[in-house]
Homo-oligomer: A and B are copies of this chain.
Amino acid sequence: MARVTIRDVARASGRSIATVSRVLNGQGSASAQARAEVEAAAKSLGFRFNEVGRTLRSNRSRTIGVIVPTLTNPVFGEAVDGIEEVARTRNLQVLLSCVNYDPLREAEAIAMLASKQVGGLIMTVSDADNSTAVAEARALGLPFILIFNQPSVPMPAVGVDNKAAGALVGEELIAHGHTHVAFIAGHFAASDRSRQRFEGLTDTFVARGLPAPTLVEVDYRAPRHGGAVAKLLRQAPEVTALFASNDMLALSMVADLRALGLSVPADMSVVGFDGISIGAMTDPALSTVVASGGPMGRTAAARLADALEHPHAKALKDDFIRLPFQFRPGGSLAARAADKNRNVRSYP
């Protein structure tokens, strides 16, 4: 119960603390015999390094901080799972903070994590270009890498080209005959990537001479958005398809539409973003852009781990690692019917 320290191992093996440290760290030199004796003693005593002492002394901890908005949305769960996966193989631990899309809490989290001496940070912030959190990480000299975010100023980040992905959705929508669509999102202040997707979508529509998509901002923390949907149907009855800025939101749109008596895709098409696994299980299966959290998390973690191992040589590059994305067809996007607005118009 009282933890065994390096000192105990030294005593038990009849060696000095320094020798034990060297042997157990595999650094510096030690005779084969010393090595054997120390290892035997350590094993028999069940010795494990106290990482706190180690960190304090060496000023490098085997811990990384991870900041995400929430784990309620599986896309972030997948990302953290991915981070964890490679962290484990790199002998790193994850100190987690969920900040609920709140920039204030992002900054607080950084301060907390820094005080615990994390070696680096993997985070998703609300708005990378104007992030206090990013500024703070920089000020503290803490290596960091963003996931999901796509900053316009160069900084370490891994994600997809959100604008291009939004544009791709635009193409798909248009290819299915939709000329009047709406983009559903949380507040842009809480999600830069959401805004980028909207820009891509809009560019495509405008380039084709089609009307710019309607923007509908909803409370991203609410589970359902029936009111917003009803309002949209009333104010823009010509809309035949919705592009939601993430799959969770898309799924809730489908449910909200159903609750209003509309069916997807017969009365309204819906496209999501992220490619969470559940989206492939629903009926209709969610048409979406696959830009999964797992790969982002794994890539970012590997990158950060590299940087931590070679503190000088391999600093994190200020560049955006562009992961591929792809459109995953599903049943929620269908061709617009000629009389598509029938139901919409009759909605009270």
**CB proximity of A243 to chain B, nearest CB, Å:** 18
> Contact between A71 and B78 (Cβ–Cβ < 8 Å)?
yes
| Beta-carbon contact of B281 and A283 below 8 Å | no
Query: Residues of A with Cβ closer than 8 Å to B?
Result: 1, 3, 48-53, 55-56, 61, 63, 66, 70-74, 76-78, 80-81, 84-85, 88, 93-98, 105, 111-117, 139-141, 223, 248, 251-252, 254-255, 258, 277-278, 280-283
Say whether B80 contacts A96, CB under 8 Å. yes
Given A48-B111, A254-B281, 11 more A-B residue pairs with CB atoms under 8 Å apart are A48-B115, A51-B115, A51-B116, A53-B56, A66-B96, A70-B77, A71-B81, A94-B96, A95-B96, A251-B282, A283-B283
Of the residues B1, B48, B61, B77, contact of A74 by C-beta under 8 Å:
B77
Contact B281 A255 (CB under 8 A): yes
29 pairs, A vs B, C-beta closer than 8 Å: A1-B141, A3-B140, A48-B111, A50-B56, A50-B117, A51-B115, A51-B116, A52-B55, A52-B56, A52-B61, A52-B116, A53-B56, A71-B74, A71-B78, A71-B84, A72-B74, A72-B277, A76-B77, A77-B77, A84-B96, A85-B98, A93-B113, A94-B95, A95-B95, A223-B280, A251-B282, A255-B282, A255-B283, A282-B282
List of B residues within 8 angstroms of A254 by Cβ: 281, 283
Tell me, in angstroms, the Cα distance from A77 to B251 when the chains sit together: 18
For A92, the closest partner residue in chain B by CB is B112
- In the assembled complex, which residues on chain B have CB atoms less than 8 Å from the CB atom of A74? 71-72, 74, 77
Which residues of B are found within 8 Å of A71, using beta-carbon distances?
71, 74, 76-78, 80-81, 84
CB distance from A163 to the nearest CB of B (A): 28
Chain B's closest residue to A263 (CB) is B283
Contact A93 B95, beta carbon cutoff 8 Å: yes
Partner of A283, one of B95, B98, B282: B282
CA distance A97 to B93 in the complex (A): 8
Shortest Cβ distance from residue A224 to the other chain B in the assembled complex, whole angstroms: 8
Q: How far does the alpha carbon of A117 sit from the alpha carbon of B117 in the complex, in Å?
A: 14
Complex Cα–Cα for A53 and B117 (A): 10
Asked whether A251 and B96 contact (CB < 8 A) given A52-B61, A80-B71, the answer is: no
Query: Which of chain B's residues have a CB closer than 8 A to the CB of A88?
Result: 105
A84 nearest in chain B by CB position: B98
Q: How far is the CA of A49 from the CA of B117 in the complex (A)?
A: 11
B95 touches A112 (CB 8 A): no
Identify the closest chain B residue to A250 (Cβ): B281
Partner of A51, one of B78, B105, B117, B277: B117
CB distance from A147 to the nearest CB of B (A): 14
A316 CB → nearest B CB, Å: 16
**Closest residue to A105 on the B side, CB-wise?**
B88
* Chain B residues whose CB sits within 8 angstroms of the CB of A248 once the complex forms: 278
Q: Are A117 and B52 in contact (CB under 8 A)?
A: yes
The contact of A81 among B72, B78, B223, B277, by CB within 8 Å, is: B72
CB distance from A101 to the nearest CB of B (A): 12
Complex-state Cα separation, A283 to B285, whole angstroms:
11
In the complex, which of the residues B52, B61, B95, B251 contacts A278, with contact meaning CB atoms closer than 8 Å? B251
Cα separation A252 to B94 with both chains bound (whole Å)? 30
Cα(A287)–Cα(B77), bound, Å: 24
Instruction: Please name all residues of chain B whose beta carbon is closer than 8 Å to the beta carbon of A98 when the two chains form the complex.
Output: 80-81, 84-85
